[in-house]
Amino acid sequence: MLVALLLALAAPAHGDAPARRAAVIFLSFDQDVPGLHELVEAVTAGLRQESHAPLDLFVEYTGLDRFSGDEYEKILVSLYQQKYSTRKIDLVVAVGPAALDFIVARKVLPHVSIVSCYVARRFVEAAKAQRPELTAAMPSQNAPKVIELMLSMFPRTKRIHVILGASEYERAQAAAGKRIFASFEGRVELTYLNDLTLAQVEARLAALPDTELALYGSMLRDASGQDFNTNEALQRISRASRGPIFGLVAEDLGDGIVGGYLLSMELSGKAAAELGLRVLKGERASAIPMMVEAGVVPLWDFRELRRFGIRERDLPLGSQIRFREKTLWDVWWREISAGIGLILVESILVAALIAQLRRRKRIERELDAQKTRYRTVADFTHDLEFWRKPDGSFEYISPSCERITGYPVAEVSKDPHILQERILAEDLTAWKEMQGKALAGTQQGPIEIRFRRPDGEVRWLEQIWNPVRFEDGSFGGTRGSIRDVTARKQAELDLKRAYQEIAALKDQLEAENTYYRGKIQSVEGASELIGDSDPMKYLRFRIGQVAPSATTVLIQGETGTGKELVAESIHRLGVRSGKVLVKVNCAALPHA
């Protein structure tokens, strides 16, 4: 009773509790884009941990990096109006130029202050002219500094390839780069690889000469339209590259860049959170000076340094090296410290529990809007998207179903097994096995199967499954995606046939070369210098001196003294003995 009384006296009055606040984060890119997850985590953690009032935080992926057009943006505006028309929003955080431009141009939450993050100064100033209540945490312009570093480390460089994808955002980045790098004109040539597929970029860097380097910006989409939400593109490019690839973002380190003056996305997110907290505490966004985030550090990947023979002493002062190989001491130290780590297990478990509770609350807040958001985006996808319940029936099928399978959505919903019946027998067993595992609640795929459409055409399809879990942890079926990859499979078959034809032609050419060399040798016969006199021994000595070299040899002597035999001996003992000796009768050539 005494403890309860003390707690009641210590608790603040209900009227004194700080008013609940709400903020919305609008993203230009999916959080799977390398570095963006760390940025968003830094923003959300900074706002939650430092806010003195309870804070409802919503994260909205706009999809503007993949979808565009007036109709799509109108649907997004309608969706956000329905979601937030009954709530008081105190802060908007716009991550990336596409989201900021959308919010300003479409007047989303028009009376709410904006904090922009990861947006260049010119885009921020253009937006501020329309929405004065705006401040920004602008990323440091580290690209020129990285170019200077590349030229100082490799002074023989004549050309730098700037690797950027073919999305609208990356094309805008390339246009901005031409303006930012104008000061390097005359010192080095800069080329932008926006209009290439990933395979073409790999081929270009595989033939990189010693006087050329590469600078990786990003590749969200290549020229063929293939999207990359992870650093798969960078990893493939790095494996193919003949020279080191420098970078701009710290989160790319470890996936193939050698390093550089790298910008930390996490530090950018913390800067944005700091500005957002000032807005939530009552400051006007227009009165808060914009921040130029200076979180640039020279970071390097030890494995890439060793791969390209770059010495640590040639790196700039203050450089930090990651992924260094562990020494024997490091290995044993971890074993020894494992005992000490047991003492911290209880603290770690408590911290993990708190993190899990926070994550659960965030999922609960987003769950109500998840179905609407999913349907809005899925209806516009090129692939067949579906949600299949545990009983085998479909909760949702995207309109792309008829284009890919030849069956209307209504027909597939009525008979959920109709698609399974059209899978070729050779692929059906593997598909059923993965389908069973998916319905058991495990993520499966991708798997490639052959599917016979109603018109008889056989198409290659790629399918993946992901389990659906409700907020109480119960299993809600599987969410899957089916993509038509027939064109890719045909291209692979064509490429394989082309390789086989090239190999056959190569073998034929080698056989013909061997045949004709044998014919020539049989006609010319072997040539020998016979005799043991002192002049003959001296002649053999001089032939042995010049034969191994690549120099030109002048043989003088009267007609019939054996100059041709000397030439044949030099050829036979020289480095080109495996090639044909071509003889020319200069006396038979006509005068010019």
Is it the case that residue 380 has pLDDT exceeding 80?
no
Name the token pair of 589.
Answer: 């050539």
Higher pLDDT, 203 or 266: 203
DSSP label at residue 316: P
Is it the case that residue 92 has pLDDT exceeding 80?
yes
The secondary structure element, H or E, covering residue 232 is: helix 232-240
pLDDT score for 296: 79
Is it the case that residue 14 has pLDDT exceeding 50?
no
Summarize the confidence of residues 431-446 as an average pLDDT. 80
pLDDT score for 435: 80
pLDDT band at 236 (very low <50, low <70, confident <90, very high): very high
Is it the case that residue 6 has pLDDT exceeding 60?
no
Summarize the confidence of residues 327-331 as an average pLDDT. 64
pLDDT digits (tens, 9 = 90+) for 137-179: 887 788 999 999 999 999 999 999 999 999 888 898 898 888 8
* Overall pTM surpassing 0.95 (yes/no): no
Higher pLDDT, 75 or 328: 75
State the number of CA atoms in the 13 A half-sphere of 31 facing the CB.
12
Is it the case that residue 131 has pLDDT exceeding 60?
yes
pLDDT digits (tens, 9 = 90+) for 280-312: 999 999 999 988 765 678 999 999 999 999 999
Is it the case that residue 497 has pLDDT exceeding 70?
yes
Is it the case that residue 368 has pLDDT exceeding 80?
no
Is it the case that residue 376 has pLDDT exceeding 80?
no
What is residue 446's three-state secondary structure? strand
pLDDT score for 434: 84
Which of 424, 434, 436 is closest to 460 using CA atoms?
424
Is it the case that residue 1 has pLDDT exceeding 80?
no
Give the per-residue SS3 of 173-202: HHHHHHHHHHHHCCCCEEEECCCCCHHHHH
State the number of CA atoms in the 13 A half-sphere of 219 facing the CB.
30
Summarize the confidence of residues 215-237 as an average pLDDT. 91
Summarize the confidence of residues 382-387 as an average pLDDT. 80
pLDDT digits (tens, 9 = 90+) for 471-492: 777 888 888 888 888 888 888 8
pLDDT score for 477: 82
pLDDT score for 396: 80
pLDDT band at 8 (very low <50, low <70, confident <90, very high): very low
pLDDT digits (tens, 9 = 90+) for 547-583: 888 888 888 888 888 888 888 888 888 888 778 888 8
Lowest-pLDDT range, 5-14, 260-269, 528-537? 5-14
Across the chain, what does the average pLDDT equal?
A: 84
pLDDT score for 9: 36
Sign, Cα dihedral of 365, 371, 374, 380: negative
Q: How far is CA 514 from the centre of its chain?
A: 47
Name the token pair of 170.
Answer: 């990356």
State the number of CA atoms in the 13 A half-sphere of 212 facing the CB.
16
Is it the case that residue 403 has pLDDT exceeding 70?
yes
pLDDT score for 49: 84
pLDDT digits (tens, 9 = 90+) for 503-517: 888 888 888 877 776
Q: Which residues touch 23 (CB under 8 Å, ≥6 apart)?
A: 47, 55, 56, 57, 58, 89, 90, 91, 92, 93, 276, 280
Give the per-residue SS3 of 50-63: HCCCCEEEEEEECC
Q: How far is CA 524 from the centre of its chain?
A: 60
